Structure 1
Amino acid sequence: MPEGHSVHRIARQFDRNFVGRAVTASSPQGRFVEGASVIDRRTPTEVRAVGKQMFLEFDDDIWLRVHLGMYGAWDFAGEILVDPTIASANGRMGQTNQRGTDLEPVFDTAGENSLSSIGAPRRTRVHVRMSEQTRGLADEGDQWPPPVVGQVRLRLMTDATCADLRGPTACQLQTPDEMLATVAKLGPDPLVDDVAEGEERFAAVVRRKPTPIGLLLMDQTVVSGIGNVYRAEMLFRARLNPHTPGRDVPEETVRGLWRDWVRLLAIGVETGQMMTMDDLNPDAYRLAMAHRDDRHWVYHRAGLPCRVCGTAIVLEEMATRKLYWCPSCQA
């Protein structure tokens, strides 16, 4: 499932490429025809990302709500204006968590930091013409608009940029009140809410819950944006047993989880990758950025030795989702 960093990156793409530009809207798949007709020829005026959900405002107070869910993604084609504050395989790869070191671009073999397709992992089939921090333009013969490939729920197009939405859990139009009501149900997001206030909200909720902390971190009403990868990694970084009831987790540990989420989310937005390992030398960092298996402590490492103690990493199901943890370090 796309996690919070991906949705914030998508929102930044829309802010730079769609806000302030009239769009044509269609539903090639046919499942959002009425909604597309309402926003067709309108101009996006604002975009917001909260946790795993994005809200795109159009003139006349119409909001498009998109929740990518397990399989959703946005595919971008055409001319893409790159946000200079974020990195990609096609641009600068700032090493935020490595004491400010700036390395050469690193190409992720899984495409996790792709600018052309953001969301659930997939092989994109659209061509991207980069603008600003560019690596070249499309050939003059490239087809425009790009052909529709697969099941596209919603296509938004300006004169230069196309965005195709595939496989979302939710794609709906909302009034301003409906949008605010949706956001009100979500837990704090470090990139949206005041960080100090968010910490207080998060700590207050977790400290009164008998629910295991491994479930609370995935509850979007408790904290926004954390998914399976960040959940496993944050619990390991805190050396916290995922089955510990929230109310039994020491307050300082709870606050430490929030502060770690603040840090990891910022890194994820900048790099486009869920980098959760610290203090890597430049060679190890490049390897980790290029290969997903080398950038996590426990996630996707079932049966492999813990990087710290050597104990085999355990894989179990917690509320139907895979949970990876070290039974020794997190005892």
Structure 2
Amino acid sequence: MPEGHSVHRITRQFQRNFVGHRVTVTSPQGRFVVGAAQLSGHTVTDARAVGKQMFLEFDHGLWLRIHLGMYGAWDFSGDILMDATMASANGRMGQTNQHGTELKDGAEAPTFDAAGENSIFSIGAPRRTRVRMSEQEKEIDLADTFPPEPVGQVRVRLLSDTVCADLRGPTACEVLDPAQVDAVIGKLGPDPELDNTPEAAERFVTTVRKKPTPIGRLLMDQSVVSGIGNVYRAEMLFRAGLNPHAPGKSLSDATVRALWRDWAHLLHIGVATGQMMTMDQLEGDQYRLAMKNRADRHWVYKREGLPCRVCGTHIVLEEMAARKLYWCPRCQA
């Protein structure tokens, strides 16, 4: 399932390519015909992400709410103005799979993910291309015609004069009025990419410290904190040395506040680079290797049966909150 950094990056593509543009909205699949008719012919005026959900506002006051869920993905095609180059927390430029792109300001040459899943950054002008944006971002075959024929079960297509966005496989795709949007967002926990104020942090701390629920479940609860999914959950708990089964109310204020700061830190890196990089202080070849291979980017995620990178104890795998949980029984005892 796409985690918070992916949804923020997708929303930025809508901000650059669709906000301010009148669009034709259709449902090639036929499952969103009524909703498409409500939005078609109107101008996109805003695009925002809250955790794992995104919202597009139109000039007549209606919104399109999207939750990608487990299988959802957007395909962008046409003369795409890519998201502006962003620096990660350690100063490196966002990674790219645009071969031949000239880097500026002394940035390192891009590192290409072995699976072709690196993020894409702007070179300052639109390019005729196609890009898949879901949990991972991937540039795919160049579009020969515009708009391209729909591929697969396209729930909704947004089409401007120059850019097309096709949505497939979402968990939620619905038209809402402003009050309904406020109600949905009001049920979500704080998102540090939107609000990293002391008040947001205290809201998270207060909520966690009241709960007898295991912290491994609370981090996945979108009403407690927005955007954390299976990868970030496992990695954050390891980085904090926390047993996933520890009740929220058993943790100190300082411990929970540190979790919030770490989530803000990791989310910012994810938004900047397009990668869930959870190992800090990697330099040179180690950093390039980690950006090329998912297995070298994480402490415990998908490392069941392998020795812990810190203590050598085998990483264990269990199920929690209906998702796979990876952790070290010694470092997180």
TM-score (normalised: structure 2) = 0.90
Distance 2:151 2:119 in 1: 18
Is this contact kept in 2: 1:31–1:153, CA < 8 A? yes
Is this contact kept in 2: 1:71–1:120, CA < 8 A? no
Which residues of 2 match residues 306-317 of structure 1 at below 5 A?
A: 306-317=308-319
Distance 1:36 1:88 in 2: 35
Which residues of 2 match residues 163-312 of structure 1 at below 5 A?
A: 163-312=165-314
RMSD: 1.9
Letter in 1 for 2:112: F
Is this contact kept in 1: 2:119–2:275, CA < 8 A? no
Is this contact kept in 2: 1:75–1:126, CA < 8 A? no
2:113 to 104, 108, 117: 108
SS for the counterpart of 1:113 is: coil
Match in the other structure for 2:125: none
Quote the offset at 1:118 in angstroms: 1.4
Distance 1:122 1:7 in 2: 11
1:66-89 residue CA offsets vs partner (Å, 9 max, x unmatched): 001111111111122122243342
Deviates more, 1:189-198 or 1:266-275: 189-198
Which residues of 2 match residues 83-162 of structure 1 at below 5 A?
A: 83-86=83-86, 87-90=94-97, 102-115=107-120, 116-120=131-135, 127=142, 142-162=144-164
Match in the other structure for 1:139: none
Q: 1:283 to 1:126 in 2, by over 3 A?
A: same
Aligned length: 312
Q: 1:165 to 1:14 in 2, by over 3 A?
A: same
Is this contact kept in 1: 2:137–2:274, CA < 8 A? no
Quote the offset at 1:122 in angstroms: 8.6
Distance 1:126 1:155 in 2: 19
Q: 1:292 to 1:93 in 2, by over 3 A?
A: farther
Is this contact kept in 1: 2:315–2:327, CA < 8 A? yes
- The alignment-based identity, stated in percent, is 65
Is 2:26 aligned against 1:11? Answer: no
Q: 1:195 to 1:104 in 2, by over 3 A?
A: farther
Distance 1:275 1:265 in 2: 9
Is this contact kept in 1: 2:117–2:137, CA < 8 A? no
Q: 1:274 to 1:264 in 2, by over 3 A?
A: same
Is this contact kept in 1: 2:315–2:329, CA < 8 A? yes
Quote the offset at 1:193 in angstroms: 2.0
Quote the offset at 1:282 in angstroms: 1.0
Show structure 2 runs of 5+ residues with no match: 87-93, 121-130
Letter in 1 for 2:24: T
Show structure 1 runs of 5+ residues with no match: 95-100, 129-141
1:114-158 residue CA offsets vs partner (Å, 9 max, x unmatched): 451111459775536xxxxxxxxxxxxx11111211111111111
TM-score (normalised: structure 1) = 0.90
